[in-house]
Chain A
Amino acid sequence: MDEADEVLLPELDGPEPKPLLPRALGWLSLALGVGALAAPGRLAQLTGVDDSPLAPTVIPAVGARELVHAAGLIRGRRPAGWAWTRVAGDAMDLTLLGRAWGDRCGERRRRVALTTAVVGGIAVADLLAAVGAARSRRARERVIRMEIGVTVNRTPADAYRFWRDVENLPRFMSHLESVRAEDLRRSHWIARGPASRRIEWDAEIVDDRPNRSIAWRSLPGTRVPNAGRVRFVPAPGDRGTEVRVQLRYAPPAGALGRVVAKLFGEEPEQQVRDDLRRFKQVLETGEVVRSEGSPDGISVRQQVIQRPAQPLPPARR
């Protein structure tokens, strides 16, 4: 089988983005670290802990820790890991400050409270940075790719023509509600999720070779970056066309990710295989074939949740 290049997705195939937030926090760490080491007494005074006998040792230690964070965050490798160590550092500082606040009164107590508020704010920023960095890394790790083929008893030109009219896609891709062609290249896709949640995105055709292949990808900014290529290869022995589909998508994490996972079923490959079977049915027989047990036609879910092989009640027609 001949190889075809993957369709590139800016979100997944560009250099891993270096998020701004971790770097900014890195510079903050650097400033704090240098300050704590160079003028521990001044810092103790500012934060209201200059009366503590421990301050001269604890503050330089905190400063040294900040310098390590700064080095890691500014270099920008594994930002997620470094962001999490900052979160841990914040937690430690907040504990120390909490104890200091309890022991003090008057102006010192006011300064400790102010410091606590500032460190608290930084902690929130640190947490956001850590979560964001981890999410972008996981999206790259989660990318699902597959290559599946079906033989259709029609010419490559027929198969190409049907697929190229992207508004036909929902006729055989069971998770799609609609695809609207905006112009010859761009289209707007709406997928049907469980519990009537919808996922929408815009896509563009990036490579179009009439009667041979079509490649498309989602436009940057979509929450489910995806790309695909379909090739129409004459089947040997005059048996029509081998329709070979390559797909790649990166499901997001969290609630939306679970919706996407449900959309594609437990076995995403099976889902695509079934979609191709529907494509074959539509091209060869004119429509998706229905039975009483599977009234909506081929789909993984339907094959498991069969109704008895009896005519449908009027309400379900």
Chain B
Amino acid sequence: MKATAWMGTDSVKVINVPDPTIMNARDAIVRITSTAICGSDLHLYHGYIPDMRKGDILGHEFMGEVVEVGPQVRNLKPGDRVVVPFPIACGRCNSCQRGLYSVCENSNPNAGIAEKIMGHSPAGIFGYSHLLGGYAGGQAEYARVPFADVGPIKVPDDVPDDQAVMLADVFPTAFMGAEMCDIKPGDVIAVWGAGPVGLLAAASARMLGAERVIVIDRYPYRLRLAREHAGAETINYEDSDVLDTLNAMTAGRGPDACIDAVGLEGHHGNAAMYAYDRAKQAVRLETERPFALRQAILACRSGGVVSVIGAYGGFVDKFPMGAFMNRSLIMRTGQCHVQRYTRPLLDRIQRGDIDPSFIISHRLPLKDAPKGYKIFQKKQDDCTKVVLKV
């Protein structure tokens, strides 16, 4: 089959690999119809997530048709149309049973290494480094889906691929980011990053009853989507000082909760600050550029929530712990526990509460995956989200 492989920093190729087969009794093989490129894939593309190997198949946002199931999979059969959550979760461990699927205790066969770096191991993730399992991803014609009796859900015919594939990651992630803000009537929510995750987080915050949502980014086309589709106000951080503007907008209180939907590759309007963290990251003195996170902490109202859904991989420098501690802030974070949200969010889509496909800017054939990575990386051609059609 054809598959999108990581060939080194800033390099992906569509290559021929063997077709996947059942390796565990609870596996299913899915013939992929739609698969998306994520901001998380850009972290891999740029080489910031440790332990990638040349030839690794990328992709953790995919859906398609079941073509084969292992002997222990009873809920699915060949022909079913399914969307697959990106964290691989067994459904039987303590974490899974408490709904913490992205920290499943069994799905990372390389837990020993992850433990050395992170203390304890998170779940395995499709196409997301050997540190997180060494699983082949889904930017391909077929994928093997472990624990198919727990993760994938069937998609009704009236929900098109473009909507359903958003349930693999970005919509649940964004929704969880908003949910972690514990939104109460009158709350003002600020969101850093107007990528797919930030845009859907803003929309979710609205759905969950936020009074006002403010989205911060520097790309006018993305900020326009935030205004038009998420009912948000926007700040372009290249035009105005973010902290001052947020204080002005909230009469000095600061947002009640702040969502970091940027992650470890933040960009900074101030050239000197940007150069400082960029240089430290290049020589691995620091693995992240946490501009949005620092700013979110400083901006947040005292006693408020900082909800971190942007991805981090290692160590953060100059973390404003003083502000965090003295102002009684709360941080909530995590890779999304997608399995918890797929059904309720599918319901919301079917009810017409939201159409998450508004973020899709490009639909390309699988063979054009390298081009998709390039335009998404460079934010060319008003690119927000690339969905590969197989």
Q: Which residues of chain A from 187 to 223 have any CB-CB distance to chain B below 8 Å in the complex?
A: none
CA distance A151 to B120 in the complex (A): 13
| Contact between A308 and B55, CB atoms less than 8 A apart | yes
- The distance from the CB of B136 to the nearest CB of chain A, in whole angstroms, is 4
- The distance from the CB of B140 to the nearest CB of chain A, in whole angstroms, is 9
- A254 at interface, CB cutoff 8 A: no
Which of A240, A291, A314 is B109 in contact with, Cβ under 8 Å?
A291
CA distance A247 to B58 in the complex (A): 41
Most A CB atoms within 10 A — which of B20, B51, B93? B93
- The distance from the CB of A242 to the nearest CB of chain B, in whole angstroms, is 12
Most A CB atoms within 10 A — which of B92, B94, B106, B107? B106
- A155 at interface, CB cutoff 8 A: no
Which of B18, B25, B135 is A293 in contact with, Cβ under 8 Å?
B135
Given contacts A286-B25, A297-B109, A317-B21, contact A291 B55 (CB under 8 A): no
Interface string of A269-288 (1 = CB under 8 A from B): 01001100100110011110
- A302 at interface, CB cutoff 8 A: yes
| Contact between B135 and A309, CB atoms less than 8 A apart | yes
Which of B3, B93, B134 is A284 in contact with, Cβ under 8 Å?
B93
- The distance from the CB of A272 to the nearest CB of chain B, in whole angstroms, is 11
Which of B17, B56, B94, B147 is A285 in contact with, Cβ under 8 Å?
B147
| Contact between B135 and A291, CB atoms less than 8 A apart | yes
Which of B5, B106, B130, B136 is A281 in contact with, Cβ under 8 Å?
B106
- The distance from the CB of B109 to the nearest CB of chain A, in whole angstroms, is 4
Given contacts A289-B90, A308-B56, A309-B136, contact A303 B23 (CB under 8 A): no
Residues of B within 8 A of A239 (CB): 94
Residues of A within 8 A of B5 (CB): 308, 310
Chain A contact residues: helix, strand, loop or mixed:
loop
- A15 at interface, CB cutoff 8 A: no
User: Chain A interface: which size bin?
Assistant: 35 or more
CA distance A293 to B105 in the complex (A): 18
Interface residues in B, total, Cβ within 8 A: 42
| Contact between A292 and B134, CB atoms less than 8 A apart | yes
| Contact between B56 and A309, CB atoms less than 8 A apart | yes
| Contact between A300 and B112, CB atoms less than 8 A apart | yes
Given contacts A280-B105, A284-B92, A289-B107, contact A312 B18 (CB under 8 A): yes
Residues of A within 8 A of B18 (CB): 310-314
- A45 at interface, CB cutoff 8 A: no
| Contact between B92 and A294, CB atoms less than 8 A apart | no
Interface string of A71-99 (1 = CB under 8 A from B): 00000000000000000000000000000
Which of A153, A273, A311, A314 is B136 in contact with, Cβ under 8 Å?
A311
- B127 at interface, CB cutoff 8 A: yes
Residues of B within 8 A of A297 (CB): 109
- The distance from the CB of A317 to the nearest CB of chain B, in whole angstroms, is 6
- B97 at interface, CB cutoff 8 A: yes
CA distance A142 to B124 in the complex (A): 37
Identity of the chain A residue whose Cβ is nearest the Cβ of B92 in the assembled complex = A284
- The distance from the CB of A192 to the nearest CB of chain B, in whole angstroms, is 19
CA distance A295 to B93 in the complex (A): 21
| Contact between B106 and A294, CB atoms less than 8 A apart | no
- B9 at interface, CB cutoff 8 A: no
Contact sample, A vs B, 9 pairs, CB 8 Å cutoff? A281-B90, A285-B92, A287-B24, A290-B109, A291-B110, A292-B134, A293-B53, A310-B5, A312-B18
Supplied contacts A295-B23, A310-B5, 11 more A-B pairs, CB within 8 Å: A274-B112, A280-B106, A286-B25, A289-B109, A292-B144, A293-B133, A293-B134, A298-B109, A306-B51, A308-B5, A311-B20
Q: Which 3 A-B pairs have the closest CB atoms?
A: A293-B134, A308-B55, A294-B109
